[in-house]
Amino acid sequence: MAQKPDKNTVKIEGLENYRKAGKIAAQAIEYGRSIIKIGASLYEVCDKIESKIISLGGKLAFPTQTSLNEVAAHYCSTPDDKTVFKENDLVKLDLGVHVDGYVADTAISIDLSKDKRHEKIIKASEEALANAIKTVKPGTKIGEIGKAIQDSITKYGYAPVRNLGGHGVGRFIVHGPPSIPNIDTGDKEEIEEGMIFAIEPFASAGAGVIYERENANVFMVIGRKGVRNMITRRVLAEIDKFEGLPFTERWLVRKGVSLPKINYALRELDNLGILRKFPPLPDKNKGLVSQAEHTVIVTKGGCEVITK
């Protein structure tokens, strides 16, 4: 979402709600850090984090994700997922919160090795995020943000993931303009006061290129068509309560819908072409990937990090 300056001041719609969402996201991600341990269930961790967000007064902007090792993003635990965190896992915890639709998005990486073998790659993405944030002010070119990320990550000997990046957020919008690259694209578009976006560096020990794996567990309705089947209609009625935001099967199970019915309905909605799928995104060469992310509001003299 990008809003134009009005003379010397910018009135940002929902500003306090963005800040509330950011504060809740910051608390939730630190809570997640505290419960991601060797042997913990991915499903239970995601469930606890989402319950924490709700207990703090927020709503879920998208399903909480715990992507492991070479998977950069979009791994979302299913109701029948038996996966547990293992020693030496490199975990990406990515979560989103909204307050009255105003979205804040944040992510961290967690090293579950005893010898801190992932410390360097995590530092690469964290430093890239910090350096990118330092560049943000009205007039900064989007390509310059990408250059700060690229320079930071390559300094550590890793590759920035060039086909992933940051994104604008808005009211009931998780991914919108502007796109914030993780490399120097040479994009001359200037950011403006009042813009709100997430900066999201990924550092890769592999190709620095991700691809879409099969078996998506994050979905979003992108259109409308007539649905005759009663099972699908019931599931779609529950999906509509997510207000157009991404969702996952776990959320529908909480609503009392059985997993077989959910899977049936999702297949039909997919066949009708009204469902967008977000599959896990592994590195092309299976290299380990770290992630760091904050949401910022561009101010007159720089930016405000709302998820810190």
Task: Answer yes or no: 175 catalytic.
Answer: yes
| Radius of gyration over every alpha carbon of the chain, rounded to an integer in angstroms | 19
Active site residue: 81, 127, 144, 200, which one? 200
Active site residue: 47, 151, 175, 187, which one? 175
Task: Answer yes or no: 105 catalytic.
Answer: yes
DSSP structural state of residue 134: H
How many whole angstroms separate alpha carbon 176 and alpha carbon 89? 31
Task: Answer yes or no: 81 catalytic.
Answer: no
Best CA proximity match to 206, nearest among 148, 301, 290 = 290
199 within 8 A of 166, measured Cβ to Cβ: yes
216 within 8 A of 225, measured Cβ to Cβ: no
Active site residue: 50, 81, 89, 105, which one? 105
DSSP structural state of residue 171: B
Task: Answer yes or no: 293 catalytic.
Answer: yes
* H or E stretch covering 91: strand 90-99
The pair of three-digit structure tokens given for residue 174, joined into one six-digit string: 């998780």
Active site residue: 70, 89, 127, 293, which one? 293
How many whole angstroms separate alpha carbon 106 and alpha carbon 29? 8
Exposure class string for 75-102: b at 16+ Cβ within 10 A, else e? bbbbbebeeebeeebbbbbbbbbbbebb
* Angstrom distances, CA of residue 19 to CA of 51, 58, 106, 222: 20, 11, 13, 28
Active site residue: 74, 98, 118, 167, which one? 167
Active site residue: 70, 81, 89, 94, which one? 94
DSSP structural state of residue 80: T
Best CA proximity match to 284, nearest among 199, 202, 167, 215 = 202
Catalytic residues: 94, 105, 167, 175, 200, 293
